[in-house]
Structure 1
Amino acid sequence: MSHITLTDFVETTFKTFNIPGVAVGVWLDGKEIYACYGVTSVDNPLPIDQNTLFALGSITKSFTATTLMRLVAEGKVELNAPVRRYIPELQLKDTQAADKVTVLNLLNHTSGLDWRVNADTGEGDDALERYVAKMAEVDLIAPLGSRVSYSQAGYNLLGRIIEKVTGQTFDRAVASLVFEPLGLSHSFFARDDIMTRRFAVGHDRSQDGTLSIARPWRHSRGDNPGGGIASSTADLLRWGRFHLGDGHAESGIRVLPTHVLHQMKDSTAELRASTLGDAIGLCWFLRDVDGVRTAGHGGSANGQFSELLIVPERNFAVISLTNAGPDGIPFNQEVVRWALENYLGIIDRDPEPISFDAARAQEIVGNYENEMMTFTIDTVGAGLRLEVLIKPEIRAAADQELPQDYAPFAFGLLPGDKDEYIITDGALKGQRGFFTRGTSGVVVGVDLAGRLFSRVQ
C-alpha cells in the first residue's frame, strides 16, 4: 500500500502517458472519490470534471443487457427463447443457426456471430431494423453455443429485440427503463443531447507523437446497443453502485429483482486465456484477481477508452475514462490496478512468458484474419511479433474515417501446453490470447480480446 492519493497517482500517470484528458472515479466505504485532469479536446479545450461526457464504447453493452433483464423480469422476454420468437424476420447465413440462436447466446457472446456488420444504416428510427436486415451477410465464425466469441452484432440484435418487445426505439427504451429510474442524468445516445453539454472528443497519436482529433466522433445509430452511450464518471459510479446493490435505485424504486441483478454476475460460460476475464455472466466479464471475484466491462470508441470494474464482496467500484489512443488502454489498466492494490490490498499481475522456443514459434508464424482485420505473426531475432491491421478494403469501403492501426507488438508464449500467449509491450501490453488447433493438431486460429482470427493458407 502506498501513501500516494488517487489524485496524485492519476495526475502523475496521465502526464506520463501524455493523454489530453482523464476522469477517474472510485466508490469506497460509501464514499465517492474523483480525480479528473486535462481537457476535453486539444482543439477546443475545456476542463474535465466528473460530469464531462465520454463515449463509452462497449460499456454500453451492460446497459443493453440490464434493459433486457428488466424485460425478462417482467416476463416479456425469455433467456432461452429463440431470437426469432421476437424477430421472426431474422436471416443469417447459417439458416439453422438463425432458427436456434437464443437470447442468452447473444447476451454471453456464444452465438458464433462474427464481430460486427460493417454498415452505416443511418440515424433514423429504423437504423436497428435496417442493421438487422444486413445480418444475413454476417459470417458464423464458430458453431452456435460452442465458444465465447465477442460480437458487437449480437448486442445490436439484442437492441432490436428490446425495440420489438417495448414498441419503442432502443434509445428511448433504455432511457425509460434504466437512465430515468436510476437518475442517470448525464447519460445519452443522441448527438443533440450530447453536444449541448460538456463532452470529450477522442484523439489519435501519430508516429511523431502529435495528437489529433479522432473523427468520426462515434459510429452510426445502428451500433448504439453495442457501443453508443456517452456518459460521465459520476453516472458510471452510480451505475456501478446499482450493480453492487439489491436492485433498487437510490430513490427507492425497484428496477430489478435482487435475484435477477445477482444472476447477471453468475458465470454462464468459461473464457480461455482472456484478458476480458475467466468467465462471462449476462454481459459482465468475471475475473478472480488475487482470489477475489470481480465483474467488469471495458469499452473503446474512436480515440476514447473506458474501464469499469466492481468488486461485489467489497462494495467497491472503479471507473477510468480517457480520450486518447493508443495510450488510454494502458492508462486505464494502471489506474484500476493501483486502485485495487491501494484500496483493497488486491494485487493484479501479468503471467511471465517462457523463453523463445523456435519450434513452437514455427507452428504459429503466418497470416490470420476475420471479417474486419488481418493478424500477422512473424519472428524478429529470438522473439515473436504480431501485427493487427484493419483490412485496406474495409478502410476503402468505410463511409467514415476508421481508427489508426497500432504498431506491431512483441509477445511471448505462456508456460504449459495450452497454446496461450501474452503481449509484452505497447498499447495492448498484458492482453492475453490463445491458439486453436484443428483435428490434425495444426494451428488453425488465434484469439485476441475475445475475437477469433482464422488462419489463411
Structure 2
Amino acid sequence: MADSLLDLSKFTDEDFKLLDEKVRSAMEYYGIPGVALGIGYGDKEYLAGYGVTNVENPLPVTPDTLFQIGSTTKTMTTTALMRLVEMGKVDLDAPLRRYLPDLTLKDAEAAEKVTVKNVITHTAGWVGDFFADTGMGDDALEKFVQKLAGVEQVTPPGKFWSYNNAAFSVAGRVIEVVTGKPYETSLKELLLTPLGMENSFFFANEVISYRVASGHRRGENGPEVNRKWELPRSSNPAGGICTTVKDQLKYARFHMGDGKASDGTQLLSPETLALMKTPVVPAGSDENMGLSWFSGKVGNVLRVRHGGGTFGQLSAFEMVPDRQFAFALVTNSDVSTGVSGQLYEDVTDWVFEHFLGAKNAPAEVQPIPADALPEYVGNYNALISSINMAISESGELEGEFVYHTNGLFEVDPPPIPGVKFGFLGKDVVLTQSGPFKDVKGQFIRNEEGKIGWFRFGGRMAVRRNS
C-alpha cells in the first residue's frame, strides 16, 4: 500500500478509476443491478452511480438516485433524540415510563426498569425483530408500542447487546411524545432540514417524482424486482429513510465535525457527538456499540459505522473521524441471500485497504476437543429464524438456518443446511461455509455458566433444548 494514500489530499483520478473497476467487477460477479457510492475526504468528495434503478423499467443510477438505507436511519433517530437531550427535554438514564407511562411489556419488571439509553444501545432485551404494521396514520408508533405487551423478553434490560429494531420504534415514539409532533416531522425539523438533506424522505408519495431505486431479489434468470417497497410506518424510526449518497455525505460531515449546521447553527455540541461514538457495550466480538453507532478497528484505523437493509436494498455507511473520511454505498439487490452483502463487504474492505491502508488479518480457527462440542448442540430460536446446532459426521459443529419471517420478506429465504462452524476461542465461532462464510457468532452463558443464547448476525437466539 502506497503511504501517499494516507494523505487524503493525494487521492487521484487513478484511485477512483480503480474504485470504479472494483465496483463494476463486483456487480457483474454478484449480479447486482444498481449501486451508488460517495466518498468524502476532507472538504472534497467523489460521487458515482452504476447500473440501473430497476431491471423492468431501467434508468441509470446516479448520485442523485434515491435508495432506501434501512437501519442507518437509527443513527438519525438517535441524533434527533440527542438534540432533545441537550434541550433538557429527555434524560437518557430515565425509565421509558417517564415518557411512555402506559408502556406494558410481557415482563413487568423489565417495563419498570428499561431506560431510554437501553433502546438506543440495543440493550432493551425484548425480541428485536418484532415488526407490526399498525397503519399509516399518525398513531402508528403509539399503536406499535401497545403491541409490545405480547413480545417476549429475551434478556433483562441492560444485560446483553442484541440488535433491536423494535426498540427504535419506541425511541421514535418518545420523540413524538416530547415534541408533540409525528416522528417524521420532528426528524425533519431537528435534523434533516438543518443539515440541508433535501433529498431524504420517508413515504412513497414523497419519492415518486424522483429517480428512485427498486429493490431486487434473486430469481431463476437473474435479479427480479421485489414488489414490496415501503416499510410499515411503525418501522420508520428503525429504517424508513430513503435518500441519496450526496445527503449521506452531508450527514457524515456533520457527525465528523463540530456539531454545526451549514448556516452556523449549533445543532449538537462536540461533546455530545463524541459521546454518541463512545462505546457503551460490546457488540459482538469485534465491535462496540455507542449511542446507536458501531465502532471498531480496521487494522489500526478506528471506524464508526452503520448500514442497513430493507426489501431488496442494502447500504453501508462508514466514517473515520480522525481522517475526516466517509464512505456511503447503496445497492438495490436482494438482502435475503447475503449476495449484496458480499458486494457491500468486498467494496468496503477494498476502500479501507486502498484509501486508508487499513486491513484486518484473517481470523484463524482453533482446534477444540471433541468432548467439548456437545455443550453447544441444541436448537436456538429467534423470532424470525432458528438455528439447529448438531455435530456432523466429520466431528464438526454444524448448523441449519431456518427462516420464518412472517411476511417480513415477500418470499422467505430457503433453509440453509450444513453451515460449518470453527472456533476462534471459547464460545466464539466463525462460519466456514455457506452464504454467511466468515461471519462470527458467540454463545452466551447465563448466570449459572450454562449456554443460554447464541448471538449471530447481532441477534440473540434463545436456546430451547440440548
Do 2:73 and 2:241's aligned partners in 1 also have CA atoms closer than 8 Å? yes
What is the correspondence of 1:49-448 to structure 2 with a 5 Å cutoff? 49-206=62-219, 208=220, 210-273=222-285, 277-325=286-334, 326-355=338-367, 358-382=370-394, 383-391=396-404, 395=406, 398=407, 401-405=410-414, 407-408=416-417, 410-417=419-426, 419-438=427-446, 441-448=449-456
Q: Which amino acid aligns with 2:263?
A: S
1:20–1:40 contact (8 Å) kept in structure 2: yes
Shift of 1:423: 2.1
Structure 1 window deviating more from structure 2 (362-371 vs 8-17): it is 362-371
The alpha-carbon distance between structure 1 residues 381 and 304, as it changes in their structure 2 partners (threshold 3 A), is: farther
Conserved? CA contact 1:24–1:321, under 8 Å: yes
> What letter is aligned with 1:27?
G
Residue 381 (structure 1) shift: 4.7
1:33 positional shift? 1.1
SS at match of 1:148: coil
Structure 2 partner of 1:20: 33
- Aligned mates of 2:339, 2:150 — CA distance in 1: 34
Instruction: Indicate conservation of the 8 Å contact 1:330/1:428, yes or no.
Output: no
Task: Tell me the distance in 2 between the aligned counterparts of 1:22 and 1:407.
Answer: 27
Q: Is the 2:424–2:430 contact (alpha carbons within 8 Å) kept by the matching residues of 1?
A: no
Residues 55 and 218 of structure 1 are in contact (CA less than 8 Å); yes or no, is this contact kept in structure 2? no
In 1, the alpha carbon distance for the partners of 2:329 and 2:416 equals 24
Distance in structure 1 (CA, Å) of the matches to 2:414 and 2:182: 34
The Cα offsets for residues 224-267 of structure 1, whole Å up to 9 and x where unpaired, read as 11111111111111111111111012232221111111111111
Confirm or deny: 8 A CA contact 2:31 2:223 kept in the other structure: no
Count of residue correspondences:
448
Structure 2 contact 131–166 (Cα < 8 Å) conserved: no
CA distance in 1, matches of 2:107, 2:227: 35
Can you list the C-alpha shifts for 1:316-351, whole angstroms capped at 9, x where unaligned? Answer: 111111111231111111111111111111113441
Output the CA distance in 1 between the equivalents of 2:353 and 2:125. Answer: 36
Structure 2 residue matching 1:414: 3-state secondary structure: strand
Secondary structure class of the residue paired with 2:326: strand
Amino acid at match of 1:450: G
Contact kept in structure 2, 1:24 and 1:233, CA below 8 Å: yes
Cα distance in 1, alignment partners of residues 42 and 191 from structure 2: 25
SS in structure 2 of the partner of residue 26 of structure 1: strand
Q: Which segment drifts farther, 10-19 or 27-36?
A: 27-36
Equivalents in 2 of 1:35, 1:8: separation in Å? 12
Distance 2:381 2:189 in 1: 40
Deviations, residues 425-447 of structure 1 (Å, cap 9, x unaligned): 44433321111234565433210
- Change in CA separation of 1:424 and 1:317 when aligned onto 2, cut-off 3 Å: farther
Match of residue 6 from structure 2 = none
User: How far apart, CA to CA, are the structure 2 residues paired with 1:258 and 1:192?
Assistant: 36
Aligned-pair CA distance for 1:408: 4.0
Q: 1:99: how far off?
A: 1.5
How far did residue 157 of structure 1 move? 0.1
Q: Is the 8 A contact 1:246 1:257 kept in 2?
A: yes
Cα separation, partners in 2 of 1:191 and 1:374, compared to 1, 3 Å: same
RMSD value over aligned CA atoms?
2.0
> Structure 1's 249 and 456: CA in aligned 2 closer, same or farther, altered over 3 A?
same
Match status 1:456 vs 2:464: yes
Q: Higher mean Cα deviation, 217-226 or 158-167?
A: 217-226
Corresponding residue number in structure 2 for 1:29: 42
Amino acid in structure 1 at the alignment position of 2:289: I
Q: Is the 8 A contact 2:74 2:292 kept in 1?
A: yes
CA contact (8 A) 1:117 1:134 kept: no
My pick for the range that moved more, 439-448 or 157-166, is 439-448
SS of the residue corresponding to residue 198 of structure 1 reads: coil
- The answer (yes or no) to whether the contact 2:390–2:399 under 8 Å persists in 1 is yes
- Partner Cα separation in structure 2 for residue 319 and residue 58 of structure 1: 13
Moved more, 81-90 or 212-221: 212-221
Q: What amino acid sits opposite 1:58 in the alignment?
A: S
Shift of 1:102: 0.8
Per the alignment, in what secondary structure is the counterpart of residue 76 of structure 1? coil
Letter in 1 for 2:93: N
TM superposition score normalised by structure 1: 0.93
**What amino acid is the match of 1:227?**
G
Contact 1:385 1:411 in 2 (8 A): yes
Give how far 1:286 is off. 0.9
Secondary structure in 1 matching 2:463? strand
**CA separation in 2, counterparts of 1:272 and 1:399?**
25
Q: Which runs of 5+ in 1 are unaligned?
A: none
User: Is residue 454–residue 462 contact of structure 2 (8 Å, CA) maintained in 1?
Assistant: yes
Q: What TM-score comes out, normalization by structure 2 length?
A: 0.91
Q: Whole-Å Cα distance in 2 between the matches of residues 387 and 24 of structure 1? A: 35
d(CA) in 1 for partners of 2:303, 2:181? 34
By how many angstroms is 1:362 displaced? 3.2
Using a 3 Å threshold, how does the CA distance of structure 1 residues 24 and 242 change in structure 2: closer, same or farther? same
